[in-house]
Amino acid sequence: MISKLTRFFVFIFVFTFSISNGQNNTYFSISAGTNIIDNSNGNEVPWDIDRAEFKTPFFIEVERRFNNHIAVSVMGTTNTFQLDRLNAAGDGFDTNSYNFLAFDIAGKFYFDDYLFDTDNIDLYAGLGLGYHDVAEGDALTANLHVGLNYWLTDRFGLSFQAIGKKGIGEEILYVGNYYQYNLGASYRFAKKSVKKKADVVPEIKLVPDAPVKEEPAVIANVPVSKPASKPTETPAVAVSQADLELQTLQAELDALEPVYFDKNSSFIGNSEKTKLDAIIGFLSIHTDLYIKIDSYTDDTGTEAYNNWLSERRLERVTAYMIAEGINPKRLDGTSHGIDSKNSCNAEHTNCSEDIHQLQRRVEFTIRD
């Protein structure tokens, strides 16, 4: 048993490190609730209702979501099993209760992006390993996970998960194969975006020189007004050819328009994908350009939720551009959360839906 546990936790460490290394963290979530476990040893599919265990059923799962699609979770499960054991006389079986304890780790792939235009529903499938102990028997298992999260708010949601487990090894006592079904509540710790200092450019205001009041000339104690002097013309500031070219290219990029999103969504619609394709084409022609990508939300909802949604929109746009062949080194993204440029936010008044639509955007600027 000790050697199995050792191998299991070594696997957890190596697997988690290999998945998380080099990734950008998005958020943690935690789920807890109840479970039903079929201990028929996998003889019935999907379960044998006569052997469904629902005594001291509890599970808790911690998940790290790395981006739109990839996550890793660790879960602990308790229950109580009824097992038929050979009696002391050896001529029959007694049914006794035994504590059940399991630990599982899984890598998950979220695919709801391809099915739904909403951020309230998360669908995933995953693979993992597990270890469980009941009575005097224990086993390692290979696991298949499918599940759904439904987010009621930006932080709280409901979760359902079904797990099929296959025992690893030639001889496994009592319970080797089984199905587990979890139903619980979830809470996610949304990551807040922090604006980089380098992105904040101080505003420089030019203050014109104060006009000089001239005293009239005096001849024999009689003031004589001087003729008005010709106003001094401000010399034109020379604009380099490179600056002119940059301004022209930015005007071309502006003409392609920002990418807009529906309310509470980071899904890129077909019309917006057409815009992105045009921007990708622009960058494919001007291969020496680097661009800045700024993501915003409207002012509805909490600040934490909008920071998370803004980050997710930025990730989707960036991932799409990279998948279409744009070098990620040419893209510098910043998630701003709520768009604070609009006057209705500063005045603490409600924006119209037309303004909200303009706020829900990702826009592009050529970097110097």
Confidence of residue 198 (pLDDT cuts 50, 70, 90): very low
* Count of domains observed in the chain: 2
- The residue among 213 and 86 whose pLDDT is bigger is 86
Q: Is residue 210 situated within a structural domain?
A: no
- What is the pLDDT, as a whole number, of residue 193? 38
- The residue among 354 and 330 whose pLDDT is bigger is 330
d(CA 110, CA 29): 14
- CB distance 190 to 27 below 8 Å: yes
- Say whether pLDDT at 47 is over 50: yes
**322-326: Cβ within 8 A, 24+ apart:** 324/277, 324/280, 325/280, 325/284, 326/280, 326/283, 326/284
Residue 72 and residue 167 in one domain: yes
Q: Is residue 248 situated within a structural domain?
A: yes
Q: Is residue 199 situated within a structural domain?
A: no
Residue 150 and residue 23 in one domain: yes
Residue 268 and residue 163 in one domain: no
Q: Position 48: which residue type?
A: D
- Say whether pLDDT at 334 is over 50: yes
> How does pLDDT run across 297-322, given as a tens digit for each residue?
988 888 888 899 999 999 999 999 99
- Examine the fold and report which residue of 172, 190, 208 is the final residue of a domain before the chain moves on: 190
In this prediction, residues 183-187 reach a mean pLDDT of 95
Q: Which domain holds residue 85?
A: 2-190
Q: Is residue 132 situated within a structural domain?
A: yes
Mark residue 135 as left, alpha or beta (left: phi above 0; alpha: psi -120 to 50; beta: remaining): left
> How does pLDDT run across 166-177, given as a tens digit for each residue?
888 765 666 778
- What is the pLDDT, as a whole number, of residue 149? 94
- Residue 189's nearest CA partner among 14, 25, 4, 359 is 25
Residue 43 and residue 161 in one domain: yes
Residue 92 belongs to domain with CATH number = 2.40.160.20
- What is the pLDDT, as a whole number, of residue 196? 38
Residue 246 and residue 182 in one domain: no
Q: Is residue 230 situated within a structural domain?
A: no
Q: Is the peptide bond before 46 cis (omega within 30 degrees of 0)?
A: yes
d(CA 44, CA 26): 39
Packing angle of the helix pair 270-285, 303-323 (nearest 10 deg): 50
